[in-house]
Amino acid sequence: MKKFKGFNTNQLKYLALVFMFLDSLFFSFPGVFPAWIHLITRFVAPLFAFFTVEGFFHSSNRKKHLKRLWLAAGLMQLGNFLSYLLLGPLYQITDNIFLTLALGYSVIFLFETGKSKSAYRFLFYLAGLLLFIIGLIFSVLPVIIGSYSFGVEGGIQVLFTMLIFWAFYGNRQKQVFVFLLWNLLLLALMGPDFNISQAPSFAAWFANFCYNSDSLTFLFLPFIFLYNGQKGSKKPIHKWIFYIFYPLQFWLLHLLAFFIHFSG
């Protein structure tokens, strides 16, 4: 029997895609699927944030990688606005993790550039800090224009995850320790509600707990310990599948929900 050597990047990304689709199903058809589905998918966004940082340090061309993320973010946001025009406020697509990852990548790109640009170090650090703060603000206070809105999806969780795993890159113990300290603070500030006694029933409390479990970012940690540090196959499909599947699944699910509603 072969000894288990962990999972490579591609394998973990495909696993995350499956659970991401489950979460999209949960929100596209509210009330149809159990709330625990949202809970078991809480590892997806921070895992993609982790691999974005890994990609930053392994990329042969960081500027090209950054441009690709911003292009994906821009196209996704354009598609989201199109969904608002075609499907209306109820069935519009609002998710755009590309934007969050692009912001996080930009922040660490500016900080990393500042390390090697001694003459302009302060300016690069200041620009990175301002961009980080802007990302946090728009993750809490989205832009609202009439019934259309957009913000930074999972900004607090994803941006801090990227910053911590960049700052302590190369030292997994420090990464995890600092990350857990931050996540404890996040849990204290954002919940979910751990007080069962205030709920009318355990079932009601558990459903609410699952639905408001976005701050349980630490649930992705087991996956990084299963990560063997290897990329896997370098075929182009493995690099582009996330960029293709992410918007496609939203369009398929939201269109399906839209047509079911108006044909029912």
SS (H, E, C) 105-172: HHHHHHHHHHHHCHHHHHHHHHHHHHHHHHHHHHHHCCEEECCEEECCCCHHHHHHHHHHHHHCCCCH
What is the SS3 assignment for 227?
A: strand
pLDDT at site 262: 82
For residue 1, is it within any domain? no
2, part of any domain: no
If one counts the domains in the chain, the total is 1
In a domain, 50, yes or no: yes
From first to last of the 264 residues of the chain, give the pLDDT tens digit: 677 788 999 999 999 999 999 999 999 999 899 999 999 999 999 999 999 999 999 998 999 999 999 999 999 999 999 999 999 999 999 999 999 999 999 999 999 999 887 778 999 999 999 999 999 999 999 988 888 888 999 999 999 999 999 999 999 999 999 999 999 999 999 888 888 888 889 999 999 999 999 999 999 999 999 999 998 898 989 989 999 999 999 999 999 999 998 886
Domain of residue 139: give its range. 9-258
Q: Evaluate the CA torsion angle 175, 178, 182, 184 in order and state its sign.
A: positive
Task: Determine, yes or no, domain membership for 263.
Answer: no
Closest-CA residue to 43 (of 206, 223, 163, 180)? 223
On whether residue 243 sits in a domain, the answer given is yes
> How far is residue 53's CA from residue 67's CA, in Å, rounded to a whole number?
15
pLDDT for res 1: 61
In a domain, 156, yes or no: yes
What 3-state class would DSSP assign to 90? Answer: coil
Task: Let me know: does 232 contact 61? Beta carbons within 8 Å.
Answer: no
CA proximity to 10, closest of 251, 236, 177: 236
110, 125 Cβ separation under 8 angstroms = yes
> Is residue 34 in a domain?
yes
